[in-house]
Amino acid sequence: MTSSYSARSRAIEPFHVMALLARANQLQAQGHDVIHLEIGEPDFTTAAPIIAAGQAALAAGHTRYTAARGLPELREAIAGFYAQRYKLAIDPERIMITPGGSGALLLTSGLLVDPGKHWLLADPGYPCNRHFLRLIEGAAQLVPVGPQTRYQLTPELVQRHWDRDSVGALVASPANPTGTVLSRDELAALAASIKARGGHLVVDEIYHGLTYGMDAASALEVDDSAFVLNSFSKYFGMTGWRLGWLVAPPEAVPELEKLAQNLYISAPTMAQHAALACFEPQTLEILEARRAEFGRRRDFLLPALRELGFGIAVEPEGAFYLYADISAFGGDAYRFCQHFLETEHVAFTPGLDFGRHLAGHHVRFAYTQQVPRLEQAVERIARGLQSWAG
């Protein structure tokens, strides 16, 4: 009986999209052509130089644990990447290599949040953020955000929602599911507001590199004491390799290392060796070409959905998502997603997976398909709208 399991386990909600994904896979198995716009994963395989580096590492016998902080040469390579891309001098000793961005989030929440304390989080936002906080007996204070603030926290919202149990705020730039980016000035203002209250700023920069027509500023440019999470999954296309990193203030590193030793010993060794190839010029050339392709997809899908009547008030500047208001069509988002999956075999994600604020009126499209497939999807959605009863 589930009632005998822990309260923390029962409090963590499942991804609603997983039921839709299971049904999509079932329809595919039955021979239907399903267009997947629900998965937050690049459709490209890992770039060839990275795969080759991973294979070479295996052939060389690099299969043992690394230090909890990760390979020194990988931490140095990441520090070099910050110097090249952001003109920042980051000491490699401040960098922790983690099992995915999730490992970085677990370390940071475990370090900064005591039971009963909380971070401010934008609603809508990535659901695992609040679930990790619940897991460590902390909490997420969800702050409703909308187009007026480009779905991001602001100093005014921090002032309004901060209370005696607040210990920090977690923001994402670019954000999932909205794709919006915080400017350098906005990051600086948020950092100052949180620091004035004795809190910590934690920034999810997992979609850095996937921005269009601009480059995202790092929080480390304006707040050297911020905790910054990043990942090799999105821009670097290494989702299944499970590798990320965390940049932390120097004084936090010994405590983080202790947590890492106990929670997971070290990040996957083969993945760390493979990731060394991420920063080679030939790899970056491949990744930049993929970034341009994502930009083309956004530039097709955004106006196409708007023309059909979807409300996308803020143009996303990064990631590979469109967060769309379906109020013009009536009904609730989950039934809306079910309708298009069953009738037109197009899968996308209900807003319920991203929070509570107007979640039943929103859906997320991931443009992780080539433009011809997106064109097919738009045709099917246009047809499906004719049969949608609301």
Dihedral sign, CA of 8, 10, 13, 18? positive
Nearest Cα residue to 172 out of 192, 188, 156, 187 = 187
pTM of the predicted model as reported, rounded to 2 decimal places: 0.96
| Residue 276 CB burial class (10 angstroms; 0-12, 13-18, ≥19) | buried
Mean pLDDT estimate for the chain: 96
pLDDT at 4: 87
CATH code for residues 63-280: 3.40.640.10
State pLDDT tens for residues 1-42: 567 899 999 998 888 888 888 999 999 999 999 999 998 889
As a whole number of angstroms, the longest Cα–Cα distance in the chain is: 60
Contacts of 169 (CB under 8 A, 6+ apart): 119, 120, 121, 153, 158, 190, 194, 199, 200, 201, 202
Q: Are 213 and 70 in contact (CB under 8 A)?
A: no
- Spatial distance between the Cα atoms of 136 and 231, rounded to a whole number of angstroms: 22
- Report DSSP state, residue 143: E
Report how far apart, in Å, the C-alpha atoms of 365 and of each of 67, 83, 88 are: 39, 34, 34
Distances (CA, A) of 188 to 207, 222, 247: 19, 5, 17
Which tens digits make up the pLDDT trace of 290-325? 999 999 999 999 999 999 999 999 999 999 999 999
Burial class, 264, CB count within 10 angstroms (exposed 0-12 / middle 13-18 / buried 19+): middle
CA–CA distance from 165 to each of 105, 138, 212, 308, 330 (Å)?
Answer: 20, 10, 38, 44, 38
Tell me if 187 sits within 8 A of 219, measured CB to CB: yes
Q: Please state whether 161 falls in left (phi above 0), alpha (psi between -120 and 50) or beta.
A: alpha
Domain range list for the chain: 7-45+283-387, 63-280
Structure tokens at 24: 């999509």
Q: What is the mean pLDDT of residues 274-300?
A: 98
First to last CA, the chain: 37
Q: pLDDT value at position 18?
A: 85
**What integer is the mean pLDDT of 273-296?**
98
Whether omega for the bond prior to residue 49 falls within 30 degrees of 0, making it cis, is no
Identify the helix (H) or strand (E) that includes residue 282: helix 281-308
pLDDT digits (tens, 9 = 90+) for 174-206: 999 999 999 999 999 999 999 999 999 999 999
Superfamily of domain 7-45+283-387: Aspartate Aminotransferase, domain 1 (3.90.1150.10)
Higher per-residue pLDDT: 390 or 120:
120
Spatial distance between the Cα atoms of 197 and 162, rounded to a whole number of angstroms: 9
pLDDT in tens, 48-102: 999 999 999 999 999 999 999 999 999 999 999 999 999 999 999 999 999 999 9
Residue 19 has what pLDDT?
87
